[in-house]
Amino acid sequence: MLEHEARAARGFALLGTLAQEGMIAAQYQVARAYLEGTGVPRSPVEGVRWMHTAASAGHAEAGFSLALMLLVDPPHRQGADGLLPVTLPEGLERWPDPVAATGWAGRAAQAGLPEAQALYGYLLATGPEGVRDPQAARAWCMRAADAGCPQGDLGLAVTHLSAGGVPGSDPDALAALTRAAEYGLPTAQYMLGLLHERGWGLPPDGACAAGWYARAADSGVRPAQARYGALLLRGGTGTPRDVMAAETWLRRAALAGDREAAALLGDLHIHGEAAIAGDHEAVKWYRMAAQQDHAMACRMLAFLHRHGRGVAADATQARIWLERACALGDVAAMTDLAAAFMAQEADTTMASPPAIDFAPAARAGDPVAAFNLAVSLHAGMGCAPRPGQAVVWMERAARGGVVNAQYWLGRMLLGGEGVEADAVRARHWLEQAAHHGLPEACLVAAQLRLEGRGGPRDHAGALALYHAAADAGRVEALFSLGAMYGGGHDITPDRTRALHWFRLGAARGHALSQLMLGRYLARGLAGAVDAAQARHWFGQAAAQGLAAARSELARMDAGHAAT
C-alpha cells in the first residue's frame, strides 16, 4: 500500500500501528516513510527517532542507514535535504558523529549486511584515529566483496591506499577496484582513471583514463569532471585535444567548487581559447580559484588588476593578490614581487611588503629564494637596506641561472651598488640575461656595446639586441633601432627602415620617436615631405614636454609665415 500513492497514507497508518506495537521491521519502514515523505509529511525528527529505535533493536538496514546519516555534515546545520533533525533522539549526542557511525555500521556488519560490512571496513580504514584498524578494515571489505558487494571491492582499494602503499602496487586491490568500476561505482571509476593517467600499477594510458573519467564525470564526481576536462584540454596519445568539451567539463567542476578547474578556465579565457573568450571571464574564474587559496590564480588575478584587464586597474588589489600568492608559496609571484621592488615601484604599489623569510631556502641552495632575499636586502624589506649582502645573494642567484638576478647583478655592478663598479663583469651578466631574452637586459647590454663599456664597441651586436627587445615589445628599442638605421653608427644607414621604426615608436606614444618621425616627414629624409603629418607628430611630442618638438613647430610656423 505504501508503494502506491493513492493508498500510501493508509499503508503508513497500518505500519505505524505495528511500529508502536514493537515490530522492528515496521519501525524501519516508518522511519523511511518519515524521511522520504511517503504517506506522511516529511519529518526528519520522527524519521531519525524511528531509525534509531529500529537500529537499537538490531535491524541491520536501520543500523546501516543510521551510520550513513551520522556521517553527513549538512551545510548550515540544516541538512542537504532537510535531513538533520531539530532535536536529536535519546541515544544520539551529536551530529555528525563518525565514531558513533562506525559503531552502528559495525553492528549492521555483524548482522551480515554486505553494504554495512563495506562501510564498516571503510570507516576502520579512514575514520577517526580512535576507531582505525587497518587489518580489520581489510577483512570486513573482503567479506563484503566475497558477498558480491561492489562497495566492498572499492573498500579494499581504499584500505590499501589508506595503509600508505604505493597506488596500484597491490594486484588484489587493483583487481577489486576494477570490479567496482566495471559494476558502475563512480568513485571507483574516477580512481581507476587516475591510476591509468599516472601509470600507478598500470601502463600510462590516456585513452583509458579519459574513458573512466568520462563515466565518473557523467555521474557527477567533481574531481573526475576536473581531470577529464584537463585531459581533454591537454590532449595526447589516444586522447585528441577538444577545447570546447574541456571547457564544458571544467565549468561543471568549477561551479561545484573545484579550484583547479576554475584556474584552468581562467587560463582558457586569458589565452583566448575559450568559446567566447574574455578577460572579464578570466577574472571571474581566477577569483573563484584564488578565494580557495590557489596560488597561481592569486598571481594571475594580481596581473589582471595591475594591467586593468577585465577589471579596472587597481594597484592595491594587485598588491593584495600578489602578496597572497607569495604567502601560498608561488615562486613566480615572489619573483614578480621582488622585480617590482627592484624597479622601485614599492612607494606607489607595494607600500606594505609581505614579511616573507627567504633566507632558509636561499641558504639551502634555492636560487629563486636567493634572488628574493637579495631583493629584500636591497630594498630594505623588513630590515635596513644592506646593498653589500644583496650583491652576494644576487650573484648566487645569477650563478644559479635566475635570469632576473643576472640582469640586476649587472645593473648593481654597473652602478657600484653595494660593490665597487665593474663594467666588465656588469656587461658579462647583462649579456647573460640578454641571451635568455630578457628585454630590459637587451636594452642595457646594447647600450654598453654602443659605447664600448666593459668590452669592445660592437654596433652590429647592439643592433641585434635592440631587435630582440623590440620583438619583446619594448618601445625604447623601437626608437633605438630608428636612430641606428638613421646613420652615424658602424652599420649601413637605411633611412627607410629608420622611418619604419620611428613610426612604430611614435604610434606607441614614445615622445622621442614622435619627434624624429616629425623631422623625417618635415624634411623628406626617407621619401616625400608630409608637412601635415610632421606637424601632427611634433604636436604629440610637444604635448609630452619635449622642448625640441616645440622648437620644430615654431620653425614650421616661421617658415609658413615667410612664404
pLDDT by residue (tens digit) across 38-75? 888 888 888 888 999 999 999 999 999 989 888 875 44
Task: State which amino acid sits at residue 203.
Answer: P
DSSP code of residue 488: S
Domain membership of residue 363 (yes or no) is yes
Domain membership of residue 358 (yes or no) is yes
pLDDT of res. 347: 44
3-class SS at 40? coil
Instruction: Over range 492-510, report the average pLDDT.
Output: 93
pLDDT of res. 79: 42
Q: Specify whether the CB–CB gap between 341 and 353 falls below 8 A.
A: yes
Instruction: Over range 345-358, report the average pLDDT.
Output: 51
Domain membership of residue 73 (yes or no) is no
Q: How far apart are CA 465 and CA 329, in angstroms?
A: 34
For the record, the C-alpha cell of 195 comes out as 591510476
Q: Which residues contact 146 (CB under 8 A, 6 or more apart)?
A: 152
pLDDT of res. 72: 72
Q: Specify whether the CB–CB gap between 552 and 521 falls below 8 A.
A: no
Asked if omega into 96 is within 30° of 0 (cis), the reply is yes
Structural domain for 342, as ranges: 335-421
Span 277-334, pLDDT tens digits = 889 999 999 999 999 999 899 999 998 998 898 989 898 898 889 888 877 767 667 6
In degrees and rounded to multiples of 5, residue 163 shows phi and psi of: -80, 0
DSSP code of residue 236: B
Residue 413: half-sphere exposure toward Cβ, Cα within 13 Å: 23
Domain membership of residue 465 (yes or no) is no
pLDDT of res. 171: 80
pLDDT of res. 345: 44
Q: Which residue has the higher pLDDT, 544 or 323?
A: 544
Q: How far apart are CA 274 and CA 267, in angstroms?
A: 9
Task: pLDDT band for 510, please (50, 70, 90 cuts).
Answer: very high
Instruction: Over range 240-256, report the average pLDDT.
Output: 92
pLDDT of res. 75: 40
Instruction: Over range 96-119, report the average pLDDT.
Output: 90
For the record, the C-alpha cell of 409 comes out as 647583478
Number of domains in the chain: 1
- Dihedral sign (CA 515, 517, 521, 523): positive
For the record, the C-alpha cell of 58 comes out as 538490531
Q: How far apart are CA 317 and CA 234, in angstroms?
A: 31
Mean pLDDT of the chain: 86
pLDDT of res. 334: 66
Span 148-157, pLDDT tens digits = 888 888 888 8
pLDDT of res. 537: 94
For the record, the C-alpha cell of 42 comes out as 516529511
pLDDT of res. 351: 45
Task: pLDDT band for 441, please (50, 70, 90 cuts).
Answer: very high
Instruction: Over range 14-24, report the average pLDDT.
Output: 93
Domain membership of residue 55 (yes or no) is no
Domain membership of residue 489 (yes or no) is no
pTM summary value = 0.58
Distances from the Cα of 246 to the Cα of 208, 231, 262, 290, angstroms? 17, 8, 12, 21
Domain membership of residue 49 (yes or no) is no
pLDDT of res. 346: 42
Domain membership of residue 50 (yes or no) is no
* Helix axes of 295-307 and 279-290: crossing angle, nearest 10 degrees: 140
Nearest to 271 by CA among 294, 248, 300, 251: 300
Determine what percent of the chain falls in helix, strand and coil, rounding each to the nearest 5.
70, 0, 30
